[in-house]
Amino acid sequence: MSLDDWILALHLLSAFALAGAMTMLWVAVLVLRGSDTPAAAATVAPVVRTANVAVVVGILGTVVFGLWLAISLDAYHPWDGWVIAGLVLWAIGTETGRRGGAELDRAAARAVELERAGQSGPSAELAAAYRSGKGLALHAASSLAVVLVLLDMIWKPGA
Amino acid sequence: MSYETLLYLHLASAFLFVGGSLAAAVLRVAALGRAEAREIAVLLRAVRPAVPLVGAGLLGTVGFGFGLASELDVDYGATWLSATFALLAWMVVVGALAGRQDRRTRELAERLAREGGSVEALRRRLRDPLNLALNVSLLLATAAVVALMVWKPA
């Protein structure tokens, strides 16, 4: 295998890490939407922690190895329209994902506060935080960006 | 279907399959570290949304993978493809067995969370060495299939 083959393999594995993380976060979001107790946040915390690590590996790996390939392979260039479109979508996905994650963190922090205050029962405030429309919209936007990046990478419009 | 469409659907299915499998594995491992039936029940119930993702992902990966192999005239007897088929068969059989055991464990956790009682039997079920080995083998098989698809050795 050539160096480029290895870079392509690492690019693909990073994409698997990113897509795996997005799926894990969707599972966490869906579980929280059906809950209203502080314990729910603690319950999904391991999933969110694992997903956060995989997101960082995925977003860094896809862009670094992707750009490396665009520079290394004669057929492609970093200034190709589809590569730039991919980078823009990647940036949109990263930022919307970061903001969606912040919404999730806020709800989790409030759950910890309530738990520490001895209020471990159902809470209307927490239910509203878990069902945040803004958080859901941001997570959906981030996932849509990932889907569009995949479309862009496969069809390479203009290449 | 064009090559691009098949590749897109194959990759999207593989992403769903791997993502769902990872989510289920993380939730199951998290359940191992919990002491109360209520917490274990919530974690095992959370595995349920991941199950259709794993099933649909696996079907899509295999179905569109066949389409791709046919489009690219790949030799079905190639070592990497034969190894992948063997691993997929293992995942289907073991996944069904482990999934049934996990469902019973979840039902027990839900019953204990509702009615109370000793969690010893539940903890024993969660730590059952055979079930743990089957689940670990599923994760290893998933990683091996991804590696085979990416590197296509020999």
Structural domain boundaries, residue A28: 3-155
- Average pLDDT score over residue span A8-21: 89
Which percentage of chain B shows pLDDT scores above 90? 41
Residue of B nearest to A21 (CA): B19
Residue B49 contacts A, CB cutoff 8 Å: yes
Structural domain boundaries, residue B23: 3-151
Please tell me the predicted confidence (pLDDT) of residue A9. 87
pTM recorded for the entire structure: 0.86
Please tell me the predicted confidence (pLDDT) of residue A118. 84
Please tell me the predicted confidence (pLDDT) of residue B143. 87
Evaluate if residue A120 carries a pLDDT over 90. Answer: no
Residue B65 contacts A, CB cutoff 8 Å: no
- CA distance to partner chain A, nearest, from residue B13 (Å): 10
d(CA B20, CA B135): 14
Number of domains in chain B: 1
Residue B144 contacts A, CB cutoff 8 Å: no
Tens digits of per-residue pLDDT, A55-103?
999 999 999 999 999 999 988 999 999 999 999 999 999 999 999 989 8
Dihedral, CA atoms, B22, A30, A106, A88, nearest 10 degrees?
70
d(CA B65, CA B82): 13
d(CA B68, CA B130): 36
In degrees and rounded to multiples of 5, residue A156 shows phi and psi of: 45, 60
- Band (pLDDT 50/70/90 cuts) for residue A148 is very high
Evaluate if residue B107 carries a pLDDT over 90. Answer: yes
Q: Which residues of B touch A147 (CB under 8 A)?
A: 12
Q: Do A27 and B46 touch (CB under 8 A)?
A: yes
d(CA A103, CA A131): 10
- Average pLDDT score over residue span B63-78: 89
Q: Which residues of B touch A13 (CB under 8 A)?
A: 146, 150
Q: In chain B, what is the straight-line distance between the N-terminal and C-terminal CA atoms, in Å?
A: 28
Residue A39 contacts B, CB cutoff 8 Å: yes
Q: Which residues of B touch A24 (CB under 8 A)?
A: 19, 22-23, 26
The tokens describing A64, both together, are 């670094």
- Band (pLDDT 50/70/90 cuts) for residue B147 is confident
Give me Rg for the CA atoms of chain A. Answer: 19
Among candidate residues A43, A41, A54, the one with its CA nearest the CA of residue A13:
A54
Evaluate if residue B64 carries a pLDDT over 90. Answer: yes
- CA distance to partner chain B, nearest, from residue A131 (Å): 16
Tens digits of per-residue pLDDT, A101-114?
898 888 888 888 88
d(CA B95, CA B143): 15
Please tell me the predicted confidence (pLDDT) of residue B154. 65
Q: Which residues of A touch B20 (CB under 8 A)?
A: 23
What value does the mean pLDDT of chain B take?
A: 89
- Average pLDDT score over residue span B104-108: 93
Please tell me the predicted confidence (pLDDT) of residue B77. 85
Residue with tokens 């029940």: B41
Q: Which residues of A touch B50 (CB under 8 A)?
A: 23, 27
Which percentage of chain B shows pLDDT scores above 70? 99
Q: How far is CA B131 from CA A12, A97, B53, B78, B106, in A?
A: 31, 35, 21, 32, 14
Instruction: Tell me the residues of chain B between 80 and 99 that have a Cβ less than 8 Å away from chain A.
Output: none
Q: How far is CA A90 from CA A30, A78, B19, B38, in A?
A: 24, 14, 19, 39
